[in-house]
Amino acid sequence: MTRETLWLIIGFAGQTVFTGRFVLQWLYSEIKRRSLIPVGFWYLSLVGSALLLAYAIYREDPVFIIGQSFGFLVYLRNLQLISRNGKEQKE
């Protein structure tokens, strides 16, 4: 496997995970019969964004790097807020 092939696999994996978050949110909302965002959405967002960011850095694409960096921070922050909220509810 060439280096280029490996990076294409990483890029496609990131895009697949990132797209999977929409499928998860859609199915979760259908099951609950209302629009909801499950915690898994944020984990898939974070993983997909990290993979796409790595791919963007490899490609040296500044537009893609900035976009994925910002998204990564937003997803991470949402998970921190969810974690904090969960701890507060247990106290």
Ordered by start, the domain boundaries in the chain are 3-90
Mean pLDDT, the chain, whole residue set: 91
Q: Per the structure block, which two tokens stand in for 85?
A: 């909220």
**Spatial separation of the C-alpha atoms in residues 79 and 65, rounded to whole Å:** 21
pLDDT at residue number 91: 46
Query: CA nearest 49: which of 81, 80, 14, 25?
Result: 14
91: exposed, middle or buried (Cβ count in 10 Å: 0-12, 13-18, 19+) = exposed
- pLDDT exceeds 80 at position 15: yes
Evaluate whether 48 touches 20 at the Cβ level (below 8 Å).
yes
pLDDT at residue number 85: 85
pLDDT digits (tens, 9 = 90+) for 31-62: 999 999 999 999 999 999 999 999 999 999 99
Which DSSP letter does residue 60 get? T
